[in-house]
Amino acid sequence: MSVSQQLEEIRKAAMGELDGTNNARELEAWRVRYLGKKSQLNEVLRSLSRLSLEERKAVGAAANRLKADLENELSQKEQAVRQDRLVASAGERGIDISLPGRSFRAGRLHPVTQVYHEINDIFISMGFEVVEGPEVEWDYYNFEALNIPKEHPARDTMATLWIDSEAESGGRSRLLRTHTSPMQIRVMEKVRPPLRIVVPGKVYRYEATDATHIPMFHQLEGLAVDEGITMADLKGTLYEFARRFFGEDRKVRFRCDYFPFVEPGVEMAIECAVCKGEGCRLCGSSGWIEILGAGMVHPRVLERVNIDPEVYSGFAFGMGIERIPMLRYGINDIRLFYGSDLRFLRQF
C-alpha cells in the first residue's frame, strides 16, 4: 500500500469512528488513537525523513492536511458534545433552554424631562444659551427688580410661598420663586448685551390643586437683549418655536396682556389639542390654551441693571413647561405628571 493510500485509509477510519463518539471520554480516546504520539499518522510524519525529496514534499503535504482536518473535526465534535450535555442537563432540571429570554423593563426619562430637553434644544439651535438659577430667591429678584414693588397688585396674582416673614427679614425676605423671571435680572447684572438666554427650572405657587394647577411646576424663561430688537423678533422666535414643536398646522394666537416687567406685554396661546378649538374641560371651553407670557423688556428693568434703554432693547418670555406635553399629547390633567402612576408614565 502506498503512503498516500495509507493516509486515505486513516482518514476513512478516523472519520467513521468519530461519528460514533458521543462523550468526552470517547473523544479523548479517539484523539490519542488518531492524533497521539503513537498514532499511525504520527508514524507517517516521522518516516518522512526516509523518503526522497520529491516524495517527502507530496506525502508531507498530504499528511499535514490530514492532521489539520482531523484536528478541526475533533474540535467541532467537542463543541457539539458539550452543547448536547448542556441541553441534557438543563432538561433533567426541567429547564427549557429553547424558550426566549425574559426582557426586563428599562427606565426612561419623565415626560416633562423629555420635553424640557426638546425645548432647550430648539432654543439652543436658535442661538440661545441655557442657564439655571436658584429656586429659593430674594424678594428683590422675584418682584422688586422686575418692577413689582411691595404694594403692587401683581404680587397677588402670584400666590407666593414665603420663607421669611416680612418682620423677621428686615425687608430682605426669601421666597420660593414664583416664576423664572428673576433670572432675567441675575443674568443682566453680570452679562452685557448682546445676550440670548433660556432658563428652565422649577417654580412654586401657593394655589389650590386642580386639572391645570399644581403647587410646583416648571417654566422656561427666555431673554434676548441687543441693539434694535423689536416685537417682530419676539413673534418670529416664538412662532418658530411653536412651528417646530407642535408642527406647521397648529394655530397660534397672540393677545395683549399685562406683566409689570414688560411693555408692551402679550400672551401666546395654542389651539387646544383635545378639542381642536371646539372647547373642552382642558381649555376651559375657549378652544385655546395660553402657554406663555411675553413682551418687550420694560425700560425701567433695563435701567435697574445699568443697560441704557435708549441704546438697547429686548424681549422676554416665560412658558409653563407642563402645558406643552399636555397640548401635544392631549393630556387633560396636570396632576398625572406627578402621581407616579407607571401606567401613565410608561406611555412616553
3-state SS, residue 26: helix
In the bound state with ligand PHE, the residue whose beta carbon lies nearer, of 71 and 129, is 129
- By CB under 6 A, residue 193 contacts ligand PHE: no
Among 316, 324, 326, 327, binds ligand PHE (CB under 6 A): 316
Burial code of 51-90, b = ≥16 C-beta within 10 A, e = fewer? eeeeeeeebeebbeebbeebeebbeebeeebeeeeeeeee
Of 73, 66, 48, 68, the closest CA to residue 7 belongs to: 66
In the bound state with ligand PHE, the residue whose beta carbon lies nearer, of 262 and 307, is 262
Query: How many residues in total does the chain contain?
Result: 348
In the bound state with ligand PHE, the residue whose beta carbon lies nearer, of 10 and 183, is 183
In the bound state with ligand PHE, the residue whose beta carbon lies nearer, of 74 and 183, is 183
The CB density around residue 222, as the number of other CB atoms within 10 Å, is: 26
Q: Closest residue (Cβ) to ligand PHE? A: 318
- Per 3-state DSSP, the chain is made up of helix, strand and coil in percentages (nearest 5) of 45, 20, 35
- By CB under 6 A, residue 317 contacts ligand PHE: yes
User: Residue 259 Cβ, how far from ligand PHE at the closest point, in Å?
Assistant: 4
Q: Cβ distance 270 to 291 under 8 Å?
A: yes
Q: Cβ distance 263 to 273 under 8 Å?
A: no
In the bound state with ligand PHE, the residue whose beta carbon lies nearer, of 128 and 259, is 259
In the bound state with ligand PHE, the residue whose beta carbon lies nearer, of 34 and 259, is 259
User: Residue 96 Cβ, how far from ligand PHE at the closest point, in Å?
Assistant: 60
The site string for ligand PHE over 241-280 (x = CB under 6 A, - otherwise) reads: ------------------x--x--x---------------
Sign for the pseudo-dihedral over CA of 43, 47, 49, 53? negative
Sign for the pseudo-dihedral over CA of 129, 298, 311, 141? negative
The number of angstroms, rounded, from the C-alpha of 221 to the middle of its chain's C-alpha atoms is 22
Set of cell numbers at residue 310: 435708549
3-state SS, residue 172: coil
User: Residue 101 Cβ, how far from ligand PHE at the closest point, in Å?
Assistant: 50
- By CB under 6 A, residue 128 contacts ligand PHE: no
In the bound state with ligand PHE, the residue whose beta carbon lies nearer, of 133 and 279, is 133
User: Residue 104 Cβ, how far from ligand PHE at the closest point, in Å?
Assistant: 41
- By CB under 6 A, residue 217 contacts ligand PHE: no
Q: Where are the beta strands (DSSP E) in 178-280?
A: 195-204, 216-227, 252-257, 262-271
Considering only residues 273 through 312, tell me which ones interact with ligand PHE, judged by CB under 6 A: 293-295
In the bound state with ligand PHE, the residue whose beta carbon lies nearer, of 30 and 138, is 138
Q: Cβ distance 182 to 160 under 8 Å?
A: no
User: Residue 231 Cβ, how far from ligand PHE at the closest point, in Å?
Assistant: 13
Q: Whole-angstrom Cα distance, residue 321 to residue 287?
A: 19
- By CB under 6 A, residue 183 contacts ligand PHE: no
The CB density around residue 36, as the number of other CB atoms within 10 Å, is: 13
Considering only residues 96 through 125, tell me which ones interact with ligand PHE, judged by CB under 6 A: none
User: Residue 179 Cβ, how far from ligand PHE at the closest point, in Å?
Assistant: 3
User: Residue 257 Cβ, how far from ligand PHE at the closest point, in Å?
Assistant: 8
In the bound state with ligand PHE, the residue whose beta carbon lies nearer, of 167 and 232, is 232
Write the CA distances from 129 to 31, 125, 132, integer angstroms.
71, 9, 10
Among 181, 212, 237, 313, binds ligand PHE (CB under 6 A): 181
What is the DSSP-derived secondary structure letter of residue 179? S
- By CB under 6 A, residue 318 contacts ligand PHE: yes
Binding site for ligand PHE (CB under 6 A): 179, 181, 259, 262, 265, 293-295, 316-318
